[in-house]
Amino acid sequence: MIHPHLLPPDLPAARVRACVGLIADTHMPERWPALPDAVFAVFAGLDLILHAGDVGELWVLDQLSRCAPVVAVHGNDDSRDSQRELPYQQVVTVAGQRILLWHSHYPDRVDEMESRRSDEIIPKLARSVQRAQRAGAAVAVFGHWHLPLVYADQGVLVVNPGALASGNGFMRQLRQTVALLLIVDDGSLRVRHVDLARPHESYAMSPLVKDPGFAAALCEYNAMILEPALAAHSAAINRRLGALGYDKTLPALLRVAHRCWAGAQEWITHADWVAEVTNDPDLSPSVRAEYLALLRDVARE
């Protein structure tokens, strides 16, 4: 059962029929090495844990299952094993409440990139509302955005628990969060988000009613770790990395990013990145030459 300090002040523990842990975007170990101890403290003794995708390696789910049974879906940026073994979406029922679980990405990358052109949040949430309605679910849990939120519309409660890892190798996740979905004896639903850096200071996020814009809302939770000269060209850099093949280009970037995420340095610098590419034994000579040319071009811009 949920720890008393995580309960809403006006909700006695005896009225909670079930407590479900919500987590998403762990991206382990590619973008974060391990589950923080606070996850196990917050999720201990719950009835169920739902992982809303971008799990990383499947061992993440094994570790979470030390606390409670786990149901998970895959995300758009998941490991090969998770993409293969986990479904795109799942419907589960807990204490009489049906819950739709999905990552919420578009399976087609062209559609996904087109969906990112708009900065509005609420119209995007309509997809989760409609998906839940089609499944007859009262709750939709999704990931993908690295942005904790609660939204209610047309009888559907939409919840994003936030993320543990960064959205990409250029960013730092400033606040690692999970959430708790409480199913009350009268059928009502309550959500409590938890900042894992302060697990004893649960906060109830107000339902989203005014659209702040995605970029503005994300600023509280994500920050660029490319040094400013690189950050100015991040979109162009990302396109060229993709053209060369992320499977070849990301390892060198991520080695520097991990040092930033661990607090060893503030920025991914041009010099650090060049050094990693130069010394990467897994790059073919032709790819290394193209990669270094990309970084030289950035330095000249």
Contact 195, 201 (CB under 8 A): yes
In this prediction, residue 144 carries a pLDDT of: 98
In this prediction, residue 3 carries a pLDDT of: 76
In this prediction, residue 202 carries a pLDDT of: 74
In this prediction, residue 1 carries a pLDDT of: 64
* pLDDT digit string (tens) for the chain, length 301 residues: 677 788 888 999 999 999 999 999 999 999 999 999 999 999 999 999 999 999 999 999 999 999 999 999 999 999 999 999 999 999 999 999 999 999 999 999 999 999 999 999 999 999 999 999 999 999 999 999 999 999 999 999 999 999 999 999 999 999 999 999 999 999 999 999 999 999 988 777 889 999 999 999 999 999 999 999 999 999 999 999 999 999 999 999 999 999 999 999 999 999 999 999 999 999 999 999 999 999 998 877 6
HSE, CB side, 13 Å, CA atoms: give it for residue 233: 15
Contact 285, 246 (CB under 8 A): no
Q: What is the largest CA-CA distance in the chain?
A: 65
Name the one residue in this structure whose structure tokens are 């299952």: 65
Q: Which two tokens stand for residue 145?
A: 């955005």
In this prediction, residue 301 carries a pLDDT of: 66
Residue spans of the domains in the chain: they are 4-223, 225-300
Q: CATH for 4-223, among 3.40.718.10, 3.30.200.20, 1.10.10.10, 3.60.21.10?
A: 3.60.21.10
User: What DSSP element (H or E) covers 265?
Assistant: none
Contact 67, 45 (CB under 8 A): yes
Q: What is the pTM assigned to this prediction? A: 0.96
Would you say how long the chain is, in residues? 301
Strand, helix or coil for residue 293: helix
In this prediction, residue 299 carries a pLDDT of: 73
